[in-house]
Amino acid sequence: MKPKAYIASKVSSEVKEYLDQHCECEYWQGAEAITGAQLAERLADAEGLLVSGNAISERLLGSAPKLRVVSNVSVGYNNNDLNAMRSRGIIGTHTPYVLDDTVADLTLALMLAAARRVTELHNLVRSGGWQRGIGPSLFGVDVHHAKLGIIGMGRIGEMVAKRAKFGFDMDVSYYNRNRKPEAEQKLGLSYLPLNELLAQSDFVVLLAPLTPETKRMIGAEQFTLMKPTAAFINVSRGENVDEAALVEALRSGTIRAAALDVYEKEPVSVDNPLLQLDNVVTLPHIGSATAATRNRMAMLAAENLVEALYGREPKYVIPELKA
């Protein structure tokens, strides 16, 4: 008998075919993303759950007495109550690595958009405000040969560094919990303490994971250290930044611009002051959002789910839940 699984995330026909070969699956059919309450109503018999973005809480797990594995279609898993999962012996998996190139591409797109004021000038044209050539007040800054500081030198950080170094001849430095001598040699990077990196960089890219140590690691003190001409780019997690301090830094001219794919609270409220600032590029958390990458993530999540349900070691178990 095939194990029963609930598939709470939209998947392609390819992924569905794979899942149906190995599991007795029930799929969420709603036009909108499934809510926590709707999910809880559907887990009574589920042994496996494939999910994207929903909180895996003690309360939700209480409605799933047979659940053995939660497979996340994401790299991050800060929405999972790991203690509750651990106490119930539930395996948790995620999908690292397959999205690294895609997120690195987006990071460069945000840098370029902030540097050349792409969204601000796009809005100028669309509103009819472009009557003649723009003046210095709307000039951007160069990316090529500028100084880039990367906070968090994991795989995505290395891919961003490679694009910046060899595509734009940028001078790249990084700050990380541990130094990466091989990356330094391969990519020509320099390691700097955080405060020095902030002070020297024209562009600061935050790629650190969300942990108790990194939560709000960038705030008023850090923005004050940055150049007034600098741009701040966040593609990590919104909670790593004191958002109120970022707003103040942008309003006061402490820094020149920001480009964001993540926020303290998502989705962003229409009254969030970041949305009122011309010197901010805002995206709706689309780091991995290409069709090809999302399909690869879903397939990897499906493979993780099946491996766990059949008593085998999934490829990517959440590190904190490894035996």
What are the catalytic residues? 237, 266, 285
SS3 7: strand
Whether 21 contacts 50, CB under 8 Å: no
Pairing of the two strands 147-151 and 4-7: unpaired
Peptide bond into 267 cis (omega under 30): yes
| Sheet with 24-27, edge to edge strand ranges | 24-27, 4-7, 48-51, 69-72, 91-93
Q: How many CB atoms lie within 10 A of CB 320?
A: 12
Give the burial string for 46-85 (b: 16+ CB within 10 Å, else e): bbbbbbbebebeeebbebbeebbbbbbbbbbbeebbbebb
- Which residues touch 189 (CB under 8 Å, ≥6 apart)? 153, 161, 165, 172, 173, 174, 180, 183
Whether 210 contacts 122, CB under 8 Å: no
User: In the Cβ-directed half-sphere of 111, how many Cα atoms lie within 13 Å?
Assistant: 26
Euclidean distance between CA atoms 235 and 205, whole angstroms: 8
Whether 260 contacts 119, CB under 8 Å: no
